[in-house]
A = this chain, B = another copy of it.
Amino acid sequence: MERTRVNYDYQLTKTLALLRNPGLLLASTKANGQSNVMTIGWGSVGVMWARPVFVVMVRPSRYTYEFIEESQAFTVNVPSEAMRSFVGVCGTRSGRDLDKFAAYHVATTPGQMVPAVTIDDCPMVYECRVAHFNDLIPANLRRDIEEASYGGRDYHRFYYGEILGAYAAADY
């Protein structure tokens, strides 16, 4: 899909609505060229250190974790309606067991600004370089949320990705 660089203010509402449902696609790539993708339903967008940022949350158990730890980069890809079933797959299957891109014939292209692939069929992508990361602190989390989302283990790491480029299809 042809995408051009945008100031994403206008598209952001749509991005956050799709984050809730069905989710966005978090892609990352290792130096050896291997890529992975997972569905994310949680995250935030804003401005930190006078830079645009996309904060994503990744549990250490996820395959994606080792990719971002290595590359310090990721892309957030906003799926089209037609990609709904792929988004479902990427929220349930691990890249350890299955090359999701290959298995579902989903084409990717290297990011323009970061060492991570973008997904060709997505009408909007954010290319991010990690500016900072920190971890969820269980003792500082409301008890009801801890129980509902963690149960004592696999607490998220927060990756604060500086948005180095956002690209959208012409009519998006």
Give A residues with C-beta under 8 Å from B.
9-10, 12-13, 16-17, 19-20, 41-51, 53, 55, 57, 130-137, 140-142, 145, 148-149, 158
Give chain B residues whose Cβ lies under 8 Å from the Cβ of A47.
16, 19-20, 41-44
In angstroms, Cα B130 to Cα A101, docked, is 38
Count this chain's copies in the assembly. Answer: 2
Give chain B residues whose Cβ lies under 8 Å from the Cβ of A134.
134-137, 140, 158
A71 to chain B, nearest CB (A): 14
A29 to chain B, nearest CB (A): 20
Which 5 residue pairs of A and B lie closest in terms of their CB atoms, listed nearest first? A44-B46, A44-B44, A132-B141, A42-B48, A134-B137
In angstroms, Cα B136 to Cα A134, docked, is 7
CB nearest to A16 among chain B residues: B46
Give chain B residues whose Cβ lies under 8 Å from the Cβ of A57.
48
Give chain B residues whose Cβ lies under 8 Å from the Cβ of A46.
16, 19, 42-46, 55
